[in-house]
Structure 1
């Protein structure tokens, strides 16, 4: 049953990569100049 552990590991790695990318998009401003932390709106 090595295939069960293998597919479980691949699924976990894929889920981790997707969640990590979604977190990065929500936390950082990604543009052509690189990755910079988002700045809070002025006045707050």
Structure 2
């Protein structure tokens, strides 16, 4: 059953990377809007 743990680990790593990229885009957009509204 090592393959189950391997697939689960790869899935979590991919999900973490996707969520991290979405968070980074959100923060950069928020900073852009904060700067343009001043």
> TM-score range, shorter-chain basis?
0.7 to 0.9
State TM-score, norm by structure 2.
Answer: 0.78
Give the RMSD, CA atoms, in angstroms: 1.7
- Larger fraction in helix: 2
Which structure has more relative contact order (CA 8 Å, sep 6+)? It is 1
- Larger fraction in strand: 1
Report runs of 4+ in structure 1 exceeding 6 Å deviation: none
5+ residue gaps in structure 1? 30-36
State TM-score, norm by structure 1.
Answer: 0.69
